[in-house]
Amino acid sequence: MNLVAGADIGGSHITAGLVDIDNRKLIDSSVVRKHIDPAADSDIIIGQWCDAILDCHKTVGITIQQTGIAMPGPFDYVNGISYIKGLHKYENLYGLNVKSMMAKQLQVEPAQISFKNDAQAFMAGELFCGCAAGYSNVVGITLGTGLGSAVYYNNEQREGDLYCMPFREGMAEDYISSRWFVFEYEKLTGNTVKGVKELADRMHTDPHAARLFETFGATLAEVLLLRYKDQNPEIIFIGGNIAHAWDCFIPSAIRYLEERDSTIRLTKAMLGEKAALIGACCG
C-alpha cells in the first residue's frame, strides 16, 4: 500500500491524514484535526502542525515518508517560505523557512515535504477521486471568507485569480464572500449576523435572508460567466463553507445561466474538507 501523508492548514486548524495513492482514497481512521492558535509564536505553530502529522502516522503504525501540505498564501511553495502578513493569521511565520523548520521537527529531509496552494490542492483532490475525476477542462472554486479558485485545462493545473477579477465597484471577492452577506444584511436590516450559516437557517422565515441568497446566486453566476465563458469548462465545482448553503443560492445561479443560454454546469464538490488534504499529496 502506497501511503502518503496529506495536511490541510486552515486559518485556525490543521487536518492531517494518510492517503492510499494506489486505491485513491483517504484512510479515514488516520485523520487527525487539531485547533491552532494562528497568533502563537512560530515554534508553537510549527510544533502543533508537526504533532498532527506525526499523530496521523501513529494511528496506523508507520514512519513518515512523504508529506504534502495545502497551505494558504502568500507563500513560496517551492522553497517553503511564508509571506503571510496582514491577514490576522500566522504572522509570526513571515519570512521563515517553514519547510526546513518542519523537516527538523519531523526528523525528515526537506525534500520529503512539499507545499501546494490550498485552492490548487482542493482542485487536485477533486480531480484525483472526487467530482472532477475523468474531466479534462475544469474550474474549481471555494466560497468562504475569501474567494479561492483553480483551473485544470490542457492537462495543466494552475492557481486561479478569480478573487481579484475587476467587478463592479471593486473586485469579485467583494461580492462573492461571507463578508458580503454580513455587510449587506446589516445594511438592509440594521442587524448583525455571524455568518452565512445563520442566514441559511433563516432562509424560509426571513425575507431579507432569502433576498440575499437570490442576489448572491445570480452574482456568482455572472462572475463565473464573465471569467470562464471563453474557457468553456465541462464543469465548475464549488466547495467551501458557503457551499453548505447550496440549496439556498444555487437555484438562482442556475437560472441566471439558463437565461443566458450558458452550457456551464455547476456541481457541488464531493470531498468537502478532505479535498485539499488529499490533493496536497497527489497530482
CA 9-73-227 angle, to 5 degrees, is 115
Residues 51-77 pLDDT 10s: 999 999 998 888 888 999 999 888 999
Provide the grid cell at 59: 494511528
Give the model's pLDDT for residue 279.
Answer: 94
Helices (H), the chain: 42-58, 98-106, 118-129, 172-175, 178-189, 196-201, 207-228, 246-259, 274-280
Contacts of 174 (CB under 8 A, 6+ apart): 167, 168, 180
Dist. CA 57–CA 119, nearest whole Å: 25
Give me the chain's average pLDDT, please.
93
Dist. CA 153–CA 221, nearest whole Å: 20
Give the model's pLDDT for residue 283.
Answer: 60
Domain architecture of the chain: domains with CATH: 3-108 (3.30.420.40), 136-269 (3.30.420.40)
- Mean pLDDT of each 10-residue bin along the chain, 283 residues long: 91 92 92 94 97 94 92 93 90 97 97 92 92 93 88 85 93 95 95 94 95 98 95 92 95 97 94 91 78
Q: Which phi and psi (to 5°) does residue 232 adopt? A: 50, 60
Give the model's pLDDT for residue 222.
Answer: 98
Q: How many other CB atoms are found less than 10 A from the CB of residue 95?
A: 9
Whether 81 contacts 75, CB under 8 Å = yes
Give the model's pLDDT for residue 119.
Answer: 83
Give the model's pLDDT for residue 160.
Answer: 82
User: Is omega for the bond preceding 251 within 30 degrees of 0, making it cis?
Assistant: no
Residues 80-117 pLDDT 10s: 999 998 878 899 999 999 999 999 999 999 999 999 98
Contacts of 137 (CB under 8 A, 6+ apart): 152, 153, 231, 232, 233, 234
CA-wise closest residue to 139 among 239, 68, 271, 2: 239
Give the model's pLDDT for residue 282.
Answer: 83
